[in-house]
Amino acid sequence: MTRKKSAFRKILNFFNGVVTFVRALLGMTLLIIIIFFGISAFSNQGISVPEQGALIVTLEGQLVDQKKGIDSIGEIFDQSAMKRQETLTRDVVRAIDVAANDRRISHLILSLDSLENGGISKLTEIGNALLRFKATKKPIISFADNYSQQQYFLAAHADKIFLNTLGSVQLFGYGAYRNYFREALDTLKVDVHVFRVGNFKSATESLTSNKMSPETRNQSQKLIDSLWQFYCEKIEELRQLPAGTVADYSNRLDIHLHSHNGDAAQLAKSKGLIDRLLSRTETKQYLEDLITNPEGEMDSIGYHDYLNKIDSENSRRILSPQQKVVVITAVGTISDGHQPPGTIGGDSLAAAITQSRDDPSLSALVLRIDSPGGGVFAAEVIRDAIASVRAKEIPVVISMGSYAASGGYWIAAEADRILAMPTTLTGSIGVYSVIPNFSRSLTSLGVHSDGPDTSPMASIMQLDQPMTSQAKALYQLSVNNIYDRFINLVSSGRNLEPEHVSSIAQGKVWTGEDALRYGLIDELGDLKDATVIAAKLAKLDQYEIEFKESPTTLFQQLVRSFSAHGLQLLKALSLNEVFHPKAVAPIDLTIDHIIKTSDLNDPRGLYLYCHDCPI
């Protein structure tokens, strides 16, 4: 009996120890959160907008419309998460626009070394804001050790462009490459059954072929040619260069570099791409001389701090509760259910839309779409939620980002007004379903499947049983039905003849300029334009813009808020000043977008997805 009591006491002590440890861990976590919030709040109090100074815009990582979710404290301190920086495009645009009309901001400095990727449409949105800033006669200065193709697009908007004496301007053009797996699947004896409508619906092509089809090659070539033409013409316009300069620079880069003895920096200067070659020390001295006041203090403020200060100054401004334009972001692959930020969940996005619909202060809704599509059912859930907003005579305006295609276009088609950037990729009106089958592969390993059934359809979900002709017919009929629904949806929503929609469908992808010509969108414009149009449709003279995210738990909100403040504070403590740029990030020359099956979870396995969109 004594031994049993002793054993029981040991077990009880063990669990008491676990509970004590968990309590201590939670207490420590809470203390860390409080400390970070406290230090962050204190540090913000010491920051002020200079009387006459520079707005420093340091772009880091990837430009996004919505940051990916961080759902645990551990992710905040994860090294890979720390390196995966994201910059909200709308924050950059808002800071530049406010600064343009702020007498305290005399000029703008672009620091671009840490910008990794953005997409031409998001870069153009920031570029438009830079042009609005320049229109006020305030100078813009850009500097970097090297300029990637995307970094240089923004730099070209500056009045002066500085480049390191050992730097380069890397303009290589666009490419659209992908991997093909048909031979590998044959080797593994895996059968892939593809059901689709649309000769240009190429999302499944990599599973059924060893090379690009003529239709896909032709479409991809047209897309990248259009994007590259836009890029070249914009650079030549901004830098006042002769037509063809940028294309010649890219096409004959080796020849041009040879003529300058391999000096890439001198080549860029000779071609008029940059204004001055300066070392880091010289750049630092130039900028210090520029933004140092007579008291020897540097009159500058980073755009994050600037926005915080502006929001603090405007916090007491009160508007009528009926003067609100709500902006909801829809970013990523469309999936069923509730999904974290960075992925569009059918249920989570629909919930955000319906919650806004029931808000008595809502006057207009803007849905910002940056998605290549995804599951049919999830897209329909979102479309239905949007329809419920319009049923209350609340205007809905769509703002398309880098892409809003296939399922992304499904949810946009019935809006009151659709805007896209000239380089937005949209359309891709088509449907597909992919069903893998492993019966041959398993048979080759000596694994066999056998048993009775009550109907020919009983084995339809068995991936170790050969697919029957009836099952194949069932899937194809389902795909055909969804395609017909898509055509009718676009025809009705856009007031277009079904025959016209059919002619521009078939999975074809269009740029924003082409989409405007074919009636798929109403006009070209960015998110700022979309909010203005939404306010006009709602007949608002004054209005407040509210950015709303999908519903999250209180813990997720705390973690994300802590993450945002914590990362900024860690950067401040690491003393990464604007005059000490980070090492240049690897340049992403090609993008091979692989569809992850974990992201595609439609209940019926039917998808509206544009494979060619993330170019």
- As annotated, the active-site residues are 201, 406
Question: The tokens of 192 are what?
Answer: 């892939």
- CA pair distance 330, 325, nearest whole angstrom: 16
Q: Are 552 and 355 in contact (CB under 8 A)?
A: no
Distance separating alpha carbons of residues 605 and 247, to the nearest angstrom: 43
Alpha-carbon gap, residue 442 to 440, rounded angstroms: 6
Among left, alpha and beta (phi > 0; psi -120 to 50; other), residue 56 is beta
Tokens of 76: 């905040």
Tokens linked to 65: 């419309």
Report d(CA 241, CA 348) in Å as an integer: 48
* Residue 223 in tokens: 């897309």
Residue 373 pairs with which residues in a beta bridge? 609
Q: In the chain, how many H helices and how many E strands?
A: 23, 23
Give CA–CA dist 168/274, Å, rounded: 10
Report the distance separating Cα 601 and Cα 409, nearest Å: 19
User: Which helix (H) or strand (E) covers residue 117, if one does?
Assistant: strand 115-117
Q: Which residues contact 70 (CB under 8 A, 6 or more apart)?
A: 76, 81, 559, 560, 563
Please give the Cα distance from 415 to 383 (Å, whole number).
9
CA dist., res. 62 & res. 88, Å (int): 9
Q: Provide the 3-class DSSP secondary structure of residue 380.
A: helix
**DSSP state letters, 280-344:** HHHHHHHHHHHHB-TTS-B-EEEHHHHHHHHHHHTTT----TT-EEEEEEEES-EESS---TTSE
CA R_g for the chain: 27
User: In 424-532, which ranges are E strands?
Assistant: 425-427, 431-437, 509-511, 523-524
CB 592 within 8 A of CB 179: yes
Structural contact between residues 589 and 117, judged by C-beta atoms closer than 8 angstroms = no
| Residue 482, both tokens | 């969804």
* Helix or strand holding residue 76 (H, E): helix 73-77
DSSP SS3 for 437: strand
DSSP 233-298: HHHHHHHTPPTTHHHHHHHTHHHHHHHTTT-HHHHHHHTTS-SEE--HHHHHHHHHHHHB-TTS-B
Amino acid at 199: N
Contacts of 542 (CB under 8 A, 6+ apart): 319, 320, 323
Q: Are 183 and 88 in contact (CB under 8 A)?
A: no
List, in sequence order, the alpha helices (H) in 505-580: 512-518, 527-537, 554-573
